[in-house]
Structure 1
């Protein structure tokens, strides 16, 4: 099996992907600066997989330290999660987002090239479609102009990686555009543990259920949707992790250089109220909420056309809404304060 370096591997999606890689027999090297993650997640991943991994506390912008990891480990491929990810915060701190997400990726790719590592799976986002494209989003649509600096960094990095692949046929790259990951590993031992007030719906709902938050704010109930609340494409994080493993397998089977984008979503959008009601149904916890004014930049609806991932990567999401809700509650109730 291959040796895979995972940047940001201690984070929410990263830790679930590391678990999936270990369970498939790969060796894993995790690089993470632990700015928005906990090493405890990796301790638990190793217990769940009954396998060890290599960890380096390194910021991907630190070229010398990153290069040292590559020199020691003889890496076959990289899955790149490391970066800042809060849309609202990116508006307040754009420089931090461009430095971490764009500069960090440039440094990573330079070091990969130095050490003759040419397989890369990049954690992108559906935000790259911007506001001009209409759902369901499909990979043939042009890169849009996202409203937030966070979204712009993802679109910029995708463009950079396309240019890199075009300039050097040794590079084989996938840009995985995903939508709204929720849920947790079925064990309840790893899950989403945001710093401070959650930016995303699901951890906020779970924290209300466990008593950490008084009530949920639903931003707007007057959108042109079935119940007035925003529609999103929610995907179980374990399905998403499997998508990265499948993308890696696809890259290893490519005969020529490439840079391909794939949507990872269910294609079945759910509203904010669907999520709240679903959580109440499957966790048997009541969620207090209030309707708040719309948030700037929120689109009424977006979801994926994932046919390309299904046909080319042989990837199929299998987790249901019930799985998403039950697994979220199992994680939150076992770990009321996170890690």
Structure 2
């Protein structure tokens, strides 16, 4: 039964009834800990992957209240969060100090693309880099009739590559350093990690494994699922305590919605709170289709950031015109700065496209 059906019939969700638990894809922290101990990894470090939004903030507050233990709190900067998410992260750091909590709070980023998703997209647009790591909406064109039809979405790889993997790497570095070891040295055989991810019960579909593909001694846990907690429940918890409730996502996230599809993450919030970021999103939306039309990319579908599969600056035409009049020159400086940075770092012979 789907989460919407559970809500419709007012049935309390229970992860133990879910197929992913019955098939062993989702495991409880107790099960994960038992597995690590059986492997001789009896020094287990507990890590919170803090996203700066709602669900992981719920877990963070549980930690401050002494309900969950963490050895490290790690926030991975994707390089494309709205400024209000960075402000929210800073709020929680102040909250930690006020609580007298001294758990190390680490901020990290992607290992090779330090400037995150913006760098990945600029690299994709301006060089021969082929790996695309965002879940854009796609359309296809019939080569005979020219008819354009809605297709599916690209895989959602950005969360793993720009959030979860950097958290694993940062946790590994911190513990190796704690034990007097270098980053390239082997992790001692008795050490294991349990990294908590803030997916809620209604996001259980996003859980694919409890075993890290990168590191054999790292396991992933989902305490909110184990608590049968929903996204709405976490938001209510934050509201009841007068904590920040902005949803964590990137300013160009294709899961931003509007109107009837409102899920607390919408384009209107980006437009009003960060107009320049909205122009950046429109730039990427246009540039991705422009480079796709060159035929130089593996991706053959036509990409869109808006779920309607229409250009973002067309969906919000009036807003785009108004904001461009104010921030257009700033956007051009931002694009030029990125073009220079991409040429310097990735050294393409020539930029594939220009704005």
Bin of the TM-score, shorter chain as denominator length: 0.3 to 0.5
Q: Which has the higher strand share?
A: 1
Larger Rg: 2
Q: Which has the higher helix share?
A: 2
